[in-house]
Amino acid sequence: MSNIVDPLVERIGARIRGERDRRRWTLAELAEESGVSRAMIHRIERGESSPSAVILGKLSAAFRLSVATLLDPEPESAEERVRRAEAAPQWRDPETGYARRQVSGPGFPAEVAEIRLPAGAEVPYPAAAFAFHRQIIWVLEGHLTFHEGDVVHELDAGDTVELGAPTACVFANSTQRDCRYAVVLVRGEAP
């Protein structure tokens, strides 16, 4: 077993612990709010386990924050406006291979992320992950099957969908090649 600690996993854990501490929540309270086990939250906070996209969605919903907020570090300087591709926070779901690169910085009023969804991958998010946010999904390459509650959107390169009222969603790629899409999120009350 390796003792090498992944700095990103460690940072995500610290961010989750910091959000829990700010709310003065116990592990049990966060587990109750999120539906994620206390043991898993504890392992994530200690940097011992990388959360899946589903778990990040549940934790972000419990905190009423976007997934990007949990993944992106606090800004080091208010003057940082150029974000080099290699320096942008990137995270990969250990279960599905879903990869997320944060395009916008923490101080920008909209959150923009680039997602790569591998062939055959499917990532569900609970309705609460979409509350208090307005989002648009823009497919850049490939094909995305986006389940918005009971409605299914088949999206090809160039297609967009603006999310409606918060509902459980599933991002699915049933093709043989990766799908790349952008998520643009604006904080505020969801429709």
Find the angle CA(89)-CA(56)-CA(77) to the nearest 5 degrees. Answer: 30
What are the two backbone dihedrals, phi and then psi, of residue 45, each rounded to the nearest 5 degrees?
-60, -35
Place of tokens 């790569």: 116
Question: Do 25 and 114 lie in a common domain?
Answer: no
Task: Print the SS3 string covering 68-87.
Answer: HHHHCCCCCCCCCCCCCHHH
- Residue 2: the pLDDT is 46
Q: Are residue 65 and residue 104 in the same domain, yes or no?
A: no
Q: What per-residue confidence (pLDDT) applies to 191?
A: 41
- Residue 164's nearest CA partner among 137, 139, 144 is 137
pLDDT at 162: 94
Do 46 and 119 sit in the same domain of this protein? Answer: no
From CA 58, how far away is CA 64, in angstroms rounded?
A: 10
> Do 46 and 134 reside in the same domain of the chain?
no
Q: Say whether both 118 and 152 belong to one domain.
A: yes
Task: Determine, yes or no, domain membership for 176.
Answer: yes
Residue 1 lies in a domain: no
Q: Which domain holds residue 135?
A: 88-187
Domains held by the chain: number: 2
Give the pLDDT confidence of 24-63 residue by residue, as tens digits. Answer: 999 999 999 999 999 999 999 998 888 888 898 889 889 8
Q: Check which CATH number belongs to the domain holding 131 and give it.
A: 2.60.120.10
Tokens of 110: 């909209």
72 has a pLDDT exceeding 70: no
A 10 A CB-CB count for 180 gives: 17
Beta bridge partners of 99: 92, 116
Indicate whether 61 belongs to any domain. Answer: yes
- Model confidence at 145, pLDDT cuts 50, 70, 90, reads very high
Q: Tell me 127's DSSP state.
A: G
User: 123 pLDDT exceeds 60?
Assistant: yes
